[in-house]
A and B are shown apart, each in its own frame.
Chain A
Amino acid sequence: MDGLQLSLLIGLVITSVISLASIIWALTLDGKLTKRPSPKVYEVKIDADKIFSEEDMADIQEQTHKQLEDIADQAAVRLKQSLNNTVDQMAASLNDMTENTISQEFEKYQVSLEALREQSIEEFSKLQRELNSRKVQLTEQLDKKIFDEFTARMDQFNTKLSDVVVSYLAESLGNEVDLGAQTTYILQALEAHKEDMKKDILA
C-alpha cells in the first residue's frame, strides 16, 4: 500500500471520528433542551359593553361630537380668515404689479420699440441714400461707358469709311490727273514750306 492510499485511509478515519463525535454532542444537547420547562401564556379579554353604561356612552359620544364640531368650526374660521388674507394679499400684489411693474415694463418696451423704430427708419433712410447715390454713380459710369463705346465705335466706323472713301478718291483721282490744274497748288505749297526746306536741305 503506497503513501497516497495510506493518507486517504487516515483522513477517512479521522472524518468518521469527527462525525460520530458531532452526532453524540448533538444528541446530548437535545436531551438537555427537552428537559427545560416551557413558559405559560395567559389571555386577557375586556368587554367594552360591560365597562360603561349606555347613558355614559351617549354622553361621551355627544361631548365628543360637540368637541369635534367646535374644532371643525374653529378650523373653518381660521381657514376662511387665511383665505381672505391670501386673496387680499394677492389682489394687492396684482394691483401693484399691474400699476408699477407691468406699466414700467410696458413703458420700457414702448421706449425700446420707439428707439428701434427710429433706428430702423434712420438705417433705411441711410440705405436709401446710399442706394440712390450708388444708382447715380452707376448711371453716370454706364452713361460714360456707353458714350465712350459709342465714340470708339463711331471713330472706328469713320476710320473704316474714311479708308474706303480715301481709297476710292485716291484711285479715281489717280485716273484723271491734271497736273496743269495743280500747278498753282504745288507752287503755293512749296512756298509755304520754303523756310523749313532751306533750313533742312541746306543745313
Chain B
Amino acid sequence: MSIKLPIELYSPDQLGIVMLELHKHISALRDANARARTASAKVGTVAAPSAMLQNIFQATDTAPEGIMACEKLLDSLETMRSSVPVARITLADMPGTDLKQKITTWFRSEIHPDFLLTFIARADIGGGLILQAGAHIYDLSFRKKILDNRQRLGEIYSKGSA
C-alpha cells in the first residue's frame, strides 16, 4: 500500500504515536466485533480516531471500521517507518507549525516524499540550522558562520565606530 503522509505528520515520533493509536484502534475494533457476536455481551464503543489518524485514513482511503484494512495500513506504516529517510534539524528556537510545515514540504518535494524530521531547539547556535542525517551533518548555523569568518569581525567594529 502506497501511503502519502499528510504534512501534519512530519516526525518519527508522531508516526510512532499514530501507529500506537492505530494498534489500539484495531484492538478496539476486534473487541467490538467479538462482543457483537455474543449478543449477551455489552457492545463496546470504539473511540473516535484522532485528527492525525483520520487524516491518514483519508489519505490512504482506509475505512476506519475495517479491521483488515486497518491492519494492512498498520503493516504499511511499520514498513515505512523502517525505510523512510529521517533527519534531525536543530534551530535556534522551536519553530511554529507554519515553519515546520514549510521545511517538511521542502524536504518531501526536493529530497524524498516520505521524509521525516525531528526538530530540536538550541539557542547557542544563534540562528540558521544544523541538519543531521545519519552520519552526515550540515552546519548552516550563524555560530559556525561567525567562527569561520572571525577575521571579518573587525568590520563590526569599524561599522560600529563609523
Contact = CB atoms under 8 A, between A and B. Distances in A.
Interface of A: 158-159, 161-162, 165-166, 169-171, 173-175, 177, 179-180, 182-183, 185-187, 189-191, 193-194, 196-198, 200-202
A73 B153 CA distance: 125
Contacts of A190: 103, 106-107, 110, 129, 131, 140
Given A162-B147, A165-B153, A201-B87, A183 B131 contact: no
A179 B99 contact: yes
B49 interface: no
B108 to A, nearest CB: 12
Interface residues of B, number: 36
Given A170-B126, A187-B106, 4 more contacts: A173-B126, A187-B102, A189-B140, A190-B110
B129 A166 contact: no
Contacts of B107: 190
Interface stretch (B13-21, B36-44, B52-60, B90-98): B90-98
B134 A200 contact: yes
B142 A200 contact: no
Q: Which 9 A-B pairs have the closest CB atoms?
A: A174-B123, A162-B150, A173-B126, A177-B93, A189-B140, A177-B92, A200-B136, A201-B133, A170-B126
A190 B123 CA distance: 20
A197 B111 contact: yes
Given A174-B92, A183-B99, A169 B140 contact: no
26 contacts: A158-B151, A162-B146, A162-B147, A165-B156, A170-B123, A173-B123, A174-B125, A179-B92, A180-B96, A182-B92, A182-B128, A183-B99, A186-B91, A186-B99, A187-B106, A189-B129, A189-B140, A190-B110, A190-B131, A193-B140, A197-B131, A197-B138, A201-B87, A201-B112, A201-B133, A202-B112
Contact of A183 (B102, B123, B142): B102
Interface in B113-143: 123-129, 131, 133-134, 136, 138, 140, 142-143
Contacts of B136: 197, 200-201
Contacts of A180: 96, 99
A173 B134 contact: no
B85, B102, B153: residue with the most chain A Cβ atoms closer than 10 Å = B153
Given A186-B129, A193-B138, A173 B111 contact: no
Contacts of A162: 146-147, 150, 153
Contact of B142 (A159, A173, A179): A173
Interface in B54-106: 85, 87, 91-93, 95-96, 99, 102-103, 106
